[in-house]
Each structure stands twice: as C-alpha cells, then as structure tokens.
Amino acid sequence: MALDATAREANIWDSIKKFFLDNLTAYPVSFDKSLSAPETAGKATDRWYSVTMGSAQLTDMSSIILDVFVCSQQDNEWHKNAQMKDTVMEVLTDPDQTDTMRRIPFYQSHPTDPWTLLGAILVTEIIESPRMEAVDETKYKILHCTLRTASKV
C-alpha cells in the first residue's frame, strides 16, 4: 500500500521550501543547517535565511518542527538581523486570521507535472532564540516553529 500524499515527507518539505522561496525574496534562502553565507550568482551576501526541518510526528494531526535561522554579518548592534527577523515573523503569521496563524499551502509535489493542492500546513507556535554569534562573527537567531497538518497515516 502506498503512503498517502499527506504523509509524504517530500510533499511537506517541497511545500515548505516553495513557501519560503515565494515569500522571502529580499535575501537568499538556503535549506541546509549550515550557517555559512551562501553565494548566489557568484556574489557573497551579508544576510541570509537558512531553513531546516527537524523532527516530525506523523499522526492524524501531524506535528513538524521547523527552524528558521536568521543570519547576518557586518551587523553592528544587530540592526540588520532584527529587520530580517521581523520580516520572517510577518511571513509566519497572518493578522487577517482570527487566530493569527499562517496557513502554508500544502501540495502534492511532482518534478515535472503540476502540483496539486492538498490543504494547508498551520504554523501554531514560534519560539525565538536569544541572539547568538558564531566564531566567524555571523550573528543569528533561530525561530523554532511548530507546524501542524492533517495526515492520513
């Protein structure tokens, strides 16, 4: 028996990647745990986001942990980082919803065929880490997000 589309990690991850690439357009977004600054089009950047998926519990109402690293360099007094964190919070919340929780479109992805909308992934909790600094002076915060979605397992 095939795994239902709502329980497939590839569909969850592809939907999350699409959401962030569509909504965080000012600075590069990587999907790796590395804090290293990505190079895009041969140019280095001093601001970027890194999104990683942590643990997941697949049940009728699945729970997924997602970490969004907000990274900046050459950032006296954390000003760039604070602006970037505020942007992510705007993307991850929805003031038009009565619960302010963002609904991330949840797709059945495919490498060549059109994607099919399955439902939504709900951002239910965001916990902000303290300010941290790596050895290369990259300043970063981590937004630990809890996502929930209905799954057939």
Query: Residue 67 CA to chain centroid, in angstroms?
Result: 6
**How far apart (Å, rounded) are the C-alpha atoms in residues 91 and 20?**
8
Is 124 a residue whose pLDDT tops 70?
Answer: yes
- Per-residue confidence (pLDDT) for residue 86, from 0 to 100: 98
Report whether CATH 3.40.228.10 matches the domain 5-31+44-150.
Answer: no
Q: What is the mean pLDDT of residues 76-82?
A: 96
In this predicted structure, the answer to whether residue 100 has a pLDDT above a threshold of 90 is yes
pLDDT higher than 90, residue 61: yes
pLDDT given at position 37: 74
Query: Is 70 exceeded by the pLDDT of residue 52?
Result: yes
What are the sequence ranges of the domains in the chain?
A: 5-31+44-150
Write down the pLDDT at residue 1. 62
pTM: 0.92
Mean pLDDT of 103-130: 96
Alpha carbon separation from 135 to 34, 69, 75, 132 (Å, rounded)? 13, 16, 14, 10
What is the reported pLDDT for 2? 80
User: What does the pLDDT look like over 139-152, one tens digit per residue?
Assistant: 999 999 999 999 99
Residues 141 and 70: beta-carbon distance below 8 Å: yes
pLDDT of 44: 78
